[in-house]
Amino acid sequence: MVESSVNDKIANMNYIGQKTPKEAADFLIKHDIVDHADFGKITDMELINDWSAALFDSIQKYPKLRESMRFTGAMQSQVDMAVKSLADDLVDYYKSNGYSEREAIKIAMKEAIESAPKADGMAWTWNPRGSNGEYYNAGGIAFNESREGICSNYIKEEIESGFWAKAKKDVSYIINHEIGHQLDHLLNLQSDTEIVSLYKHLKTNNKIINGVSGYANTDIEEFIAECWAEFKGSKNPRKYAKFVGERIIERYNEIN
């Protein structure tokens, strides 16, 4: 009884706009949306609040994605965090293989830094895994802090040109697109017969670019993510986004 009343309370809650990056990060952690949040050098509170609100909504509605959403914020902070976790792992490994602590730390740090990706693009979903297959604490959707200044114009242009699906023109688009990929991985949507047959039909008849977006025409993965971005981010999603969006919800509900 106690547990379900707590869940009800959480499920009914909305993200509340925060005044500082730190407050937004703390809000997400406090409400169990992520384990770690760090917006790094990002200072635009409109961006941070739009981003956080979209993530908050997605994780509350689809809590089975929570496991891979350990972190959100700046990808630069995410990479730093992952490097530390990987280095810790590697230090243990080298010590158990006869290296001194000092030597082990030196080799481990070098290897961890070299294996980490370099911040690139506007945003990404990164789920680094350790040697045991467990997610590192840094897995999740992150934003490139060095793109903060160009972000809102960029999103506006991509959506208006039709390269991105029709959705609200702010960073919620990015979150929803990335959540679309996560739902695809969780539910193996690329093998869903209904989605696959719609995709093949539209592809054969050259209907994806106008019916969804230019990006959706890349492959079935991007098709699914773009349909989800429009389904979640538009007040009036068009028919293909609506079909795929509703199918995804149906599939998600089957695993509950």
Residue closer to Zn ion by CB (options 37, 225) is 225
Backbone angles phi, psi at 226, to 5 degrees: -70, -40
Query: Interface with Zn ion includes 183 (CB under 5 A)?
Result: no
CA distances to 199, 203, 212, 231, 238 from 192, rounded to whole Å, are: 10, 16, 19, 18, 20
Backbone angles phi, psi at 123, to 5 degrees: -160, 160
| Helices and strands (H, E) in the chain, number of each type | 11, 4
Span interacting with Zn ion, options 83-91, 148-156, 163-171, 221-229, rule CB under 5 A: 221-229
Query: Interface with Zn ion includes 74 (CB under 5 A)?
Result: no
Span interacting with Zn ion, options 133-141, 161-169, 196-204, 225-233, rule CB under 5 A: 225-233
| Minimum gap (Å) between residue 183 Cβ and Zn ion | 12
**Residue position matching structure tokens 């025409």:** 217
Query: Interface with Zn ion includes 224 (CB under 5 A)?
Result: no
Q: Which of 48, 225, 229, 248 binds Zn ion (CB under 5 A)?
A: 225
Residue closer to Zn ion by CB (options 47, 225) is 225
Span interacting with Zn ion, options 74-82, 154-162, 220-228, 229-237, rule CB under 5 A: 220-228
Q: Which residue number is nearest to Zn ion in terms of Cβ?
A: 225
**DSSP annotation of 150:** T
**Residue position matching structure tokens 């530390």:** 84
Dist. CA 220–CA 237, nearest whole Å: 19
Query: Interface with Zn ion includes 69 (CB under 5 A)?
Result: no
The H-or-E segment that residue 222 falls in is helix 220-233
Query: Interface with Zn ion includes 227 (CB under 5 A)?
Result: no
| Minimum gap (Å) between residue 26 Cβ and Zn ion | 29
Sites of contact with Zn ion (CB under 5 A): 225
